[in-house]
């Protein structure tokens, strides 16, 4: 947690102009990242269960895809709308302080419990 506190204070670096970009672009990076993040999620398990229960596989795939879009689209749009208005430095400092507090609390609990 304390390591995360330090990391939260390190600013992200944007890609410089002229830096070669992957051929497949942002769509493929997002697709792969989202797929990896969702593997083993309850949504995937529910999709497999529905696919096993119903013979119409395209309808199951379409339904789960539309459900994920309906759940995620508003969040992405709101995040995009507020991204430029949020004080990023203050958010980084707040996150860092929270990580430090949690790290110290975990250390105190470990010391007080005597390793039990």
| Residue 84 belongs to a domain | yes
| Residue 15 belongs to a domain | no
End-to-end CA distance of the chain: 21
| pLDDT of residue 47 exceeding 90 | no
Beta carbons of 10 and 95 less than 8 angstroms apart = no
* pLDDT tens, residue by residue, 12-28: 765 555 566 666 777 78
Query: How many other C-beta atoms lie within 10 A of the C-beta of residue 9?
Result: 13
| Residue 98 belongs to a domain | yes
Q: Which domain holds residue 102?
A: 2-9+24-112
* pLDDT tens, residue by residue, 49-108: 888 888 898 999 899 889 888 888 888 888 878 878 888 888 889 999 999 999 999 999
| Residue 39 belongs to a domain | yes
Domain count within the chain: 1
């Amino acid at each position: 947690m304390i390591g995360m506190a330090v990391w939260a204070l390190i600013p992200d670096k944007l890609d410089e102009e002229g830096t070669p970009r992957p051929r497949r672009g942002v769509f493929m990076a997002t697709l792969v990242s989202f797929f990896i993040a969702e593997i083993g999620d309850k949504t995937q398990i529910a999709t497999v269960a529905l696919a096993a229960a119903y013979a119409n596989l395209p309808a199951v795939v379409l339904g789960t895809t539309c459900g994920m879009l309906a759940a995620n689209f508003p969040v992405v749009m709101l995040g995009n709308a507020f991204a430029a208005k949020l004080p990023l430095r203050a958010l980084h400092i707040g996150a860092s302080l929270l990580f430090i507090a949690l790290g110290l609390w975990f250390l105190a609990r470990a010391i007080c419990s005597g390793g039990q």
